[in-house]
Structure 1
Amino acid sequence: MNDIGTNSAPTYGIATNSVPTDCTAVRLRSVTRSYGKGAAAVTALDRVTLDIPKGTFTAVMGPSGSGKSTLLQCTAGLDRPTSGTVTLGDRELTALSENKLTLLRRERIGFVFQAFNLLPSLTAEQNVALPLRLAGRRPKRGAVLDVLERVGLRERAGHRPSELSGGQQQRVALARALVTRPDVLFGDEPTGALDSRTGREVLTLLRDMVDGGQTVIMVTHDPMAASHADRVLFLADGRVRDALDSPTADRVAERMTALAVAPC
């Protein structure tokens, strides 16, 4: 199985430099992330090069320890690569100071995690407005209610997390991620804590957002979740080993099985 997205293989998306910069949401070039030093060093990402076009839904899969979470963290500016560059739109994240990187994450990047991370003492409306307040902006109630409407929860604006189901809490978390109108929405197992029916509802909502122009990058272990994406990237040993366009759950599961038995 050939590597995709390394120095010796084609770039994910199309060949290197063939995707115009203004059409690319995220661009990684030779990104390596290592932990530790000397003989104890561990390479979590190994010279990953890829382009993710705007307005697309990308799922990232791989066995435990494959580097998928590290890829998400480096791409979202939560972690810094040991070497290489990460560019979000027109901004190279690896060149920013910590303060500027924090501001960029607040304004241009959205996050949804497996844990909903809602503040229990705040209503849904107040939880959604929180990123704007943290950024020093005065939330407009109409805008907050509009994003709750977008996830189907406007009528639950005054409810606290304990008064909402798990799926509703994840929808609030999704609205909170979208309220700043981010360039890219990152999801780390966003349906991992949900039952299958509720998970499908959240994935359908993400799919609808992508169809409306949002860019989504999601780490998942679930072939059914990955089947909602436009493309699935398969990681192993810190490298993108394979990619699948127009995925179905069965095809994703087959690729994962092949990845597990393929030689490195």
Structure 2
Amino acid sequence: MIELKNISHFYEQNEQVLHDISLKIDEGEFLFLSGESGSGKSTLLSILSTLLKPSEGELFLDKTNVNDIQNIDIFRSDKIGFVFQFHFLINYLNVYENIALAAKDEFKQDINSLLEKLGILELSKRYPNEISGGQRQRVALARSLINKPKIIFADEPTGSLDSKNSKIVYELLKNASDAGTTVVVASHDAAIEKYATRTIKMIDGKI
């Protein structure tokens, strides 16, 4: 499903943040990418999710070399969901509209059922500033799931949440993995390890 071959990355000529990383991630796997701040885990996640092009090496997603993709935006829309530490919801759109904006036409009919699964259906007409941080993060998760992506990438998805809401997010990501979606989470929170099928620790840009 995902394969890295000899990935290295430099932010400046003398600042190497990733060192010759090769890795395979299977379909439906829930991979926990752990490490302290500065370990390189967020950079690696950015490369995995196509948001950053590596300085060296090759990335394959769904058996496709990313360098051969003609339109990366369409590829992301078709295959990838993103969850970040900050929800990036649009404040002048309500919950339903935030998700509908990201949804393809064939999946718009699924918005309410997805909100119900996430326990936030009653919030569909509210705006981001009218709901809690944990609820906003669940809306962001719904937005990432609505198009039924093959892969979900999450960077510190619970960094601003308490333990109760963090558990809800972890369980939802685990449910997505159990349903066949490949999930890759970068976080310093060790609590996620019990939900993951595999844990990889990053130290100084290496696995």
State the TM-score, normalizing by the size of structure 2: 0.94
Residues 122 and 160 of structure 1 are in contact (CA less than 8 Å); yes or no, is this contact kept in structure 2?
yes
In the alignment, structure 2 segments of 5+ residues that lack a partner are none
2:167 matched to which residue of 1?
200
Given residue 93 of structure 1, which amino acid in structure 2 is its aligned partner? V
1:221 matched to which residue of 2?
188
Cα 1:222–1:140 shift into 2, 3 Å = closer
Given residue 179 of structure 2, which amino acid in structure 1 is its aligned partner? G
Residues 152 and 184 of structure 2 are in contact (CA less than 8 Å); yes or no, is this contact kept in structure 1?
yes
1:34 matched to which residue of 2?
10
Q: For 2:175, what is the secondary structure of its paired residue?
A: helix
Shift of the alpha carbon at 1:189? Answer: 0.5
> What pairs up with 1:117-196 in 2 under 5 angstroms?
117-132=88-103, 137-138=104-105, 141-196=108-163
Shift of the alpha carbon at 1:94? Answer: 2.9
In the alignment, structure 1 segments of 5+ residues that lack a partner are 1-24, 241-264
Q: Using CA pairs under 8 Å that are at least 6 residues apart, name the structure with larger relative contact order, 1 or 2.
A: 2
State the TM-score, normalizing by the size of structure 1: 0.74
Residues 107 and 146 of structure 2 are in contact (CA less than 8 Å); yes or no, is this contact kept in structure 1?
no
Q: CA RMSD in A?
A: 1.5
Query: What count of residue pairs does the alignment treat as equivalent?
Result: 207
Partner residue of 1:89 out of 40, 62, 67: 62
Measure, in 1, the Cα distance between the counterparts of 2:10 and 2:93.
Answer: 39
Cα 1:193–1:83 shift into 2, 3 Å = same
1:102 matched to which residue of 2?
73
Shift of the alpha carbon at 1:239? Answer: 1.1
1:74 matched to which residue of 2?
47
Given residue 146 of structure 1, which amino acid in structure 2 is its aligned partner? S
Q: For 1:148, what is the secondary structure of its paired residue?
A: helix
Tell me which structure has the larger Cα radius of gyration. 1
Q: Percent identity, please.
A: 36
Residues 69 and 75 of structure 2 are in contact (CA less than 8 Å); yes or no, is this contact kept in structure 1?
no
Shift of the alpha carbon at 1:84? Answer: 0.9
Post-superposition Cα deviations, 1:142-182, rounded to whole Å, max 9, x if no partner, equal 22222222322222211111221111111110010011211
Given residue 68 of structure 1, which amino acid in structure 2 is its aligned partner? K
> What pairs up with 1:236-255 in 2 under 5 angstroms?
236-240=203-207
Partner residue of 2:32 out of 13, 37, 59: 59
